[in-house]
Amino acid sequence: MNTTMDTATEAPLHIAPATLLQLMWLASPALPIGGFSYSEGLEAAIHAAQVTTEAEAAGWLVQQLHLTQSRGDMAVIAQALPAWQRGDVQRVQQLNGWVLATRETSELRLQTEQMGRSLADWLRNQHTADAGRSAQIRQLAALSGQRPSYPIAFALATAFTGAVAQQALLAYAFGWAENMVQAAIKAVPLGQSAGQRILARLAQEIPAAVAHAETLPDDARQAFSPLLAILSARHEHQYSRLFRS
């Protein structure tokens, strides 16, 4: 099935320059939240010889984008962003609980908790002079005893930019793609040109993944990726590894 979207027929996506810059900042691998230290099962797949070439790495990441990110975390962000904007902390709590409950291994749960906590800390440092935003960041850190997951923290960060869901999801997905491509370059290993070709393919796939994520209600979100769960469980005990997941 062709999952790409013909963006030439889409209406222009208008965005204020300040919002665009903030989204670029949030999507940057330089953001100090630790995303570069995770491969989300890719390293274990490489170790098991399931991903050994550029083509296999590209295919793996495209499937992961559509089967796990679009149907799971991206769908959560699409719902959490408007919840933060209207101050619906109960809804945010519900979505955060879903994210935490769907992490099938300890390393995947630790990843979303660590990145969520680090992003909350970054937001706190960025908005010390804004009482309203500081209050929401405190709500993020509390969440009735739950630790904030990364998708929930990212949704709050993008709510502060004034972005709409489509814009937030495009930034999130491209940031995820950049980190995963860098993981493939290091672990397969691949050259920089190969990494750019994989990133170009992911960029073509992202609009369709975003469009799908925006359509999913609660009962259509999914977190069913048994092979990734098995690989992650094996990775926790892998003898030699570069990444934390």
Q: Is residue 17 part of a domain?
A: no
How does pLDDT run across 75-119, given as a tens digit for each residue?
Answer: 999 999 999 999 999 999 999 999 999 999 999 999 999 999 999
The CATH number that applies at residue 180 is 1.10.4190.10
Task: Classify residue 148: in a domain, yes or no.
Answer: yes
Is residue 43 in some structural domain? yes
CA-based nearest residue to 228, from 3, 74, 64: 64
Residue 7 CA to residue 195 CA, distance in Å, equals 23
Spatial distance between the Cα atoms of 208 and 5, rounded to a whole number of angstroms: 5
pTM comes to 0.92
Structural domain that includes position 81? 37-235
Nearest of 205, 101, 84 to residue 146 by alpha carbon: 101
Establish if 6 belongs to a structural domain.
Answer: no
Question: What is the identity of the amino acid at 161?
Answer: T
245 within domain boundaries: no
Which residue carries 């979505």 as its tokens?
95
What tens digit of pLDDT does each residue of 121-142 get? Answer: 999 999 999 899 999 999 998 8
